[in-house]
Amino acid sequence: MASARDRAEIVKVARMYYEQEMSQDQIARALLTSRSNISRILTVAKKKGIVEIRVAEAAKRDTELEEMLVARFGLRAAAVASVPEGTGDVGLIGELAATHFLTHLKPRAKVAISWGRSMEAMVAAVERHQRPDVTFIPLMGGMTGAPNSLNGETLIRSLAEKLSADFQVLHAPTIVQSPEVKTALIQEPSISRVIEAAKSADVAFVGVGSKESSSANYVLEAAGMTQLHHRDFWSKFEGDLGGRFFDTNGRAIDSQLDERTIGIDLEDLRKIRNVVGVAHGADKAPGVLAALRGQLITELVTSQDCAKRILGIEAH
C-alpha cells in the first residue's frame, strides 16, 4: 500500500475502525495489507489530528462529597457522580470511571483489572483508540457461575480490542476445590507468570463487593460458603476485592478460603501503587468503607448515594 499514508487513505481506515467498528484484522483483510500497517495508519490519524479521542463526561460530579472523601480517608483522588437516588444508572458511573481510567494510561502502563457490573460499565464507556504500548492483566481467575459479561477475562479482552493493547489471561478459576489443587495450578509457569505480572502492575481497577450486594455471592457460591455452614465467616464478612474477602477494617477473614483462591491477595493488592475502586449504589457502601479503612484502595469512583452512606456510617 504505497499510498497508505496520504490523507484519503488515512481517513478511509479511520472511518472503518471508528465508525464502522471493524477490527484491525478485518480492515487489513479488506485492504489486502497487514494488521501492523493498519495500526501504524491509525496512529498517524491521531498524530495528524484526523482522529481526536475524548471521553464526554456526561455524569455531573459532586465535588463537595469528593473533597470530603479525600480529606476523611486520605485518598489520592475521588470522583463522585451525581446519580439521582433510586435510578440505578450504573452507566453514569461507567462514564466517570472511563474518564478516570484514561488518565492512568501512562506510556507502557501495566493495568490490572478485576470484574463486576461497575467495571463492565467502565469498559463499555471507554472509546476506541490506539494504545498498543499498554498491557492489561487479570487480578484473579475466571468467575464460575457469574455472567460472562462481568468476567474479568471478558472485560480485559474487550479493553485490549478497543485500545489495540496487549493482554494476559489467567487460565484458572478464581476458587478451586482444595489448597492442593491451587498449589498444583500456580506451579504452572503460564499461571504463575500472570500472577506475578499482576503484582507488579502500575495501577489496578477493581470492582468493590459488599455483603449487601449480589456480586460477592457469585464467588461465595462457587466456594460453597453458605451462611448455614459458615456462620463465623458471614458474621465477619463486610466486602471483597478481586475474590478476596475482608472484615469491617479491611482485614482478610478466612485463610482457608484464601488458600483455595487463585490471584493476588489483599497484601499484594495493597502494595500496588494505585488501586482505583469502582462501585455504584448505596448497597456497596459497607464494602467500600471497609476497603477504605484497610487502605486497600487509593482512589475511588462512586455514586452520590454510595458516598453519602459511606460518610454517614463513618460519622457514627
Question: What are the DSSP calls for 90-152, one per residue?
Answer: HHHHHHHHHHHHHHT--TT-EEEE--SHHHHHHHHHPPP---TT-EEEESB-B-TTS-GGGSH
Tell me where in the chain the CATH 3.40.50.1360 domain(s) lie: 63-315
| Domain 7-47 classification at class level | mainly alpha
Tell me where in the chain the CATH 1.10.10.60 domain(s) lie: 7-47
Residue 26, pLDDT score: 87
Residue 153, pLDDT score: 83
Residue 2, pLDDT score: 40
Residue 223, pLDDT score: 80
- Identify the helix (H) or strand (E) that includes residue 219: helix 215-223
Residue 193, pLDDT score: 96
Nearest to 131 by CA among 42, 210, 212: 42
Chain center to CA of 19: 26
Q: Tell me which architecture the domain covering 63-315 has in CATH.
A: 3-Layer(aba) Sandwich (3.40)
Please list the rounded mean pLDDT of every run of 10 residues in the chain (316 residues).
65 85 86 88 85 61 94 95 69 91 93 91 91 94 64 86 94 89 94 96 95 75 82 92 93 88 94 95 94 97 94 88
The x, y and z cell numbers of residue 139, run together, are: 487480578
- Residue 168 CA to residue 252 CA, distance in Å, equals 27
pTM for this prediction? 0.79
Distances (CA, A) of 143 to 115, 117, 153, 222: 9, 13, 9, 8
